[in-house]
Structure 1
């Protein structure tokens, strides 16, 4: 398979992880780096061995770039993803694909017009552990009625920067809330729950200076409920639990980290408890390979994070954020 030639759009902290682990992918290589600041792009490119650098327009105009990794602030994701698609590039975009359901739909519509893949980078979805969970739920080893609990949070240690800027879609829900929501959505999908029926049933949170610092929500569908929590003010675990008819699944670390995917789950089924350990992967390499395989196969989406789940997560985050912000007024 021919190598996918990648450009990074936005040489920030998370792009450092992508550049570090892209060489571990099967099918990707870093070709270019783009930024609003060409000097910053050039310095990043030199550190990671990219051949070229420049502005966003410069790099998107090149015919030796096949795919882009969008790693800018949330509010610029849609604009850059659409520009990349219109320039003939596949897109891997950091979560959230956009900070609203409407903007998410704009990106997916652009991908359909271009006939090119767009993949949202919820890194835990590209791990062998995610496949192990999906298989157990598809086999009804844990079945409806089902309840999911999941949380993700950290103490930011300050109150400035993009996380605390309402104009940049700051706050806990858009930064880390998508992890437990995407976990719940994937569990619901694997269990056969109709995602269009999954709705926000209740939500609350703590808002300071226009951004949600902590937030909780209850999601519900027929035979399915999920309780999710997130924070940028308090350290939370990365634990997730799935409890249902016939058994349960527990993950002490459901989301892994930037270097390694999660690897262990506890599973109780048919009267027996087992600890399952799977291989670990480098999440950014796995995401890049998912895009490469979609390009090779002529698919618009990744099987690991299909558009139906991206749409559902976007819709639920939208509703969660709006409810929390309305409650603060």
Structure 2
């Protein structure tokens, strides 16, 4: 029998509920009217103003396990979203505390690519850490993990320069990886929020699709499946530009990700981005979730590509950067 009352999740704790990833999760969960959302924040956190209205806040000291355990007691799901600046041992501490608190389900800090793409994850250096995290959860034997595979975030990746999806919108430049025609899955933050809310609104156990059917497995969602050339075509529709207005270059994906890895090893943080995106968008289609998608069972529809491309174009042309916001 489920340890969760009435066979439906109602109590969800989120680390990072004021962030770009955790925020959409929190808002969408609250919008269902079925969930109580608790934001787990540091004692010295100043992000309260960014938290969605209706979120309950509990402040903890990550170096005091008992304070984290106390905050997580009674929670049915823990969603961990952490920034790259977070101390590396923070997630391990949260996982240990979740086990001691008896939290049944846990979303670790793995949002993006396909965790089953072993060679890609090995090439990008993500495999070892990801495997260790899942092993920790399984060895503790209390929580079951779910990996949230959503591809790269579209509204983050398209307007942020050639290091990511290869586009410099403001200067009308694009670098196509290989031939630019490889399809891959990508999602917006709101779509991720809807996906999480739909997933945690499923019955925990029983017939048909349940939350338990995703235990210790990935869930796959997308907003759309596109190629770089599809994105350029969308930009041209939105802006009225002609392709001849753009500077178009081509680079082999393997060459690009190897260059990015070399730059990263020399301390260039953007080198990691170049490596990760180019490797995940290479012709082995590791970033294409076709045949694995759970959109249908979660009631998710593909979004309007041009609508989100327009958002990205407006964002880039205004000189905005996510790093500064």
TM tier relative to shorter chain: 0.3 to 0.5
Q: Which has the higher contact order (CA 8 A, sep 6+)?
A: 1
Q: Normalising to structure 1: TM-score of the pair?
A: 0.44
Going by fraction, where is strand more abundant, 1 or 2?
Answer: 1
Q: Normalising to structure 2: TM-score of the pair?
A: 0.44
